[in-house]
Amino acid sequence: MDIALLSTSIGSRVSQEQPNNPLHGVTIEMALTRLVDRYGWDGLAQRIDVNCFKNDPSIKSSLKFLRKTQWARDKVEHLYLATFDRASPWGRSEV
């Protein structure tokens, strides 16, 4: 099978499998960056108690930790959804 055809078929299957996933298409880097923009590192550390948000925080070091630590990544994803995925009475708006 041609690689382009394979990637197209895999891409369309993933899109069909996750139509209701609010995090579909949002990387952990995108989520973390938006949360830092909204709350700052201090505010993020107050909401999620991990050292990488408290001691000399950076996107790079936080991503390294979050990619290795599922429970912390889950908390970041939950906070992202709680912050940015609010239901609107007029339907879902794109952010």
Domain annotation covers residue 7: no
Domain annotation covers residue 49: yes
The CATH number for 55's domain is 1.10.720.30
pTM of the predicted model, to two decimals?
Answer: 0.70
Domain annotation covers residue 34: yes
Tokens in use for 88? 């609107």
Per-residue pLDDT tens digits for 38-91: 999 999 999 999 999 999 999 999 999 999 999 999 999 999 989 987 665 555
Number of domains into which the chain is organized: 1
Indicate the burial class of 35 (C-beta count within 10 angstroms; 0-12, 13-18, 19 or more).
Answer: buried
Per-residue pLDDT tens digits for 49-59: 999 999 999 99
Tokens in use for 67? 């990619």
Domain encompassing residue 58:
24-84
Domain annotation covers residue 89: no
Q: How many Cβ atoms sit within 10 Å of the Cβ of residue 5?
A: 9
